[in-house]
Amino acid sequence: MRLIGNILWIILGGIEIAIGWAIVGLVLCVTIIGIPLGIQAFKMAGLTLVPFGKTVRYSGGVGSTLANIVWVVLVGVWMAIGYVLAGVINCVTIIGIPFGIQSFKMAKLALWPFGAQIDNL
């Protein structure tokens, strides 16, 4: 079921969003200051490409929390809102509920990426 979900996800727009995240990561990594943010963008690209069968585990300390606060203020809120809206739209139909759940998972990661680990189930 994970394979079918990931294939449908990629066909229905996951590849475009993942490429967008990867481009953002590359642009951010051009500067030394942007490298930590670029790494988080690559993390989002990986999860966005194949979200089914993956979980996000949160850990980290004070440094991660401070970096997440900066991330939330700069871009995290807007990205999370976009994923939440996509999740709500997907959940309107019964067949879209699994895709909505994945969008909500990505919204949480888009809001608070530092200190998050992406694990396979």
pLDDT tens per residue, range 45-100: 999 999 999 999 988 788 889 999 988 998 889 999 999 999 999 999 999 999 99
Task: Specify the pTM.
Answer: 0.85
Q: From the CB of residue 105, how many other CB atoms can be counted at a distance below 10 Å?
A: 19
How many whole angstroms separate alpha carbon 32 and alpha carbon 54? 30
Q: 56 pairs with which residues across the strands?
A: 118
Q: Which of 21, 26, 81 is nearest to 46 (CA)?
A: 21
pLDDT tier for residue 1 given thresholds of 50, 70 and 90: confident
The gap from C-alpha 107 to its chain's centroid, in whole angstroms, comes to 6
